[in-house]
């Protein structure tokens, strides 16, 4: 707020500053769509491969589903609101939780509830799949507008982002349900939970690893 107030005062008392200000403003308007175009091409190239990498790996999908179930249970029972996580073939990380026992109990409860049919636990709104879906959609829409209109502009970018953000969460949920997670965790054995070795000394409970194995 103070920055804009100072800028307005400078332009009022020194109108000559309008010319360089306008120059940088138009450069800014040009660079934003250019960067967005670059990011769109990056998403078009890399996002499908990342989704395919998860989709073709059954154990990773199961751990990913169990990770989401664990986070959902932790948020339901212990009031967490900003948890995150990611999975690999040997288990999954829960980032933001503080208590090992809570995390392990949540993982076991999540698994039992998945076994009993609560497949919706494999869906989580803050999953990276949703972000990937939104980025991929905005890229596709933006490239379509680009070819259709013949030029790129900040308005094309804003329109693509708006549409992608409106439908991205729904597409993300579908991708989580059908592509990147699995509720079939009957043959997954939870070995236990432990603090990750990568934690900082003063953040002993910020990153917990739940180790699993297929049986």
pLDDT (0 to 100) of residue 36: 66
pLDDT (0 to 100) of residue 111: 98
- Looking at the structure of the chain, the number of domains it has is 1
Task: Check if the beta carbon of residue 193 is closer than 8 Å to that of residue 107.
Answer: yes
Which of the two residues, 52 and 14, has the higher pLDDT score?
52
Residues 178 and 191: their CA atoms lie apart, in Å, by: 27
Q: Is residue 177 part of a domain?
A: yes
List, for residues 166-190, the tens digit of each pLDDT value: 888 888 899 999 999 999 999 999 9
pLDDT (0 to 100) of residue 141: 84
Q: Is residue 81 part of a domain?
A: yes
Rounded to an integer, the average pLDDT of 34-52 is: 78
Domain that holds residue 186: 35-214
Q: Is residue 19 part of a domain?
A: no
Q: Starting at the edge strand that comes first in sequence, how are the strands of the sheet with 188-195 ordered? A: 84-88, 91-95, 207-214, 188-195
Q: Is residue 10 part of a domain?
A: no
List, for residues 107-153, the tens digit of each pLDDT value: 999 999 999 999 999 999 889 888 888 888 888 888 888 788 776 66
pLDDT (0 to 100) of residue 40: 72
Which of the two residues, 154 and 63, has the higher pLDDT score?
63
pLDDT (0 to 100) of residue 85: 94
Residues 212 and 63: their CA atoms lie apart, in Å, by: 8
Q: In the Cβ-directed half-sphere of 68, how many Cα atoms lie within 13 Å?
A: 27
Is the pLDDT at 203 greater than 60, yes or no?
no
Q: Is residue 22 part of a domain?
A: no
Q: Among 201, 190, 206, 205, which Cα is nearest to 66's? A: 190
Is the pLDDT at 212 greater than 60, yes or no?
yes
Q: Among 208, 184, 213, which Cα is nearest to 196's? A: 208
Q: Is residue 162 part of a domain?
A: yes
Q: Is residue 165 part of a domain?
A: yes
Strands 188-195 and 207-214: antiparallel
List, for residues 154-163, the tens digit of each pLDDT value: 777 788 888 8
Residues 89 and 177: their CA atoms lie apart, in Å, by: 19
Rounded to an integer, the average pLDDT of 27-52 is: 74
Q: In the Cβ-directed half-sphere of 160, how many Cα atoms lie within 13 Å?
A: 26
Rounded to an integer, the average pLDDT of 77-102 is: 93
- E-assigned strands of 58-141? 84-88, 91-95
Q: How far apart are the first and last CA of the chain?
A: 59
Q: Is residue 25 part of a domain?
A: no
Task: Check if the beta carbon of residue 180 is closer than 8 Å to that of residue 173.
Answer: no
The residue whose two tokens read 């090992």 is 100
- Rounded to the nearest integer, the mean pLDDT of the chain is 83
Residues 31 and 108: their CA atoms lie apart, in Å, by: 49
Helix (H, G, I), strand (E, B), or coil: what is residue 95? strand
């Amino acid at each position: 707020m103070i920055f804009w107030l100072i800028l307005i005062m400078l332009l009022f008392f020194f109108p000559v500053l309008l010319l360089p200000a306008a120059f940088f403003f138009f450069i800014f308007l040009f660079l934003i769509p250019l960067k967005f175009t670059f990011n769109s091409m990056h998403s078009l190239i890399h996002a499908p491969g990342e989704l395919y990498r998860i989709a073709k790996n059954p154990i990773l999908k199961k751990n990913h589903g169990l990770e989401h179930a664990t986070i959902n249970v932790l948020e339901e029972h212990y009031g967490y609101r900003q948890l995150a996580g990611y999975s690999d073939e040997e288990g999954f990380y829960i980032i933001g939780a503080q208590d090992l026992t809570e995390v392990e109990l949540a993982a076991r409860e999540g698994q039992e509830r998945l076994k009993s049919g609560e497949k919706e636990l494999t869906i989580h709104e803050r999953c990276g799949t949703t972000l990937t879906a939104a980025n991929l959609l905005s890229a596709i829409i933006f490239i379509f507008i680009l070819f259709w209109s013949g030029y790129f502009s900040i308005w094309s970018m804003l329109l693509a982002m708006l549409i992608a953000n409106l439908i991205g969460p729904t597409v993300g949920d579908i991708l989580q349900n059908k592509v990147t997670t699995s509720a079939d965790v009957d043959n997954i054995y939870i070995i236990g939970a432990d603090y990750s070795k990568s934690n900082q000394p003063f953040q002993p409970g910020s990153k917990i690893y739940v180790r699993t194995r297929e049986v």
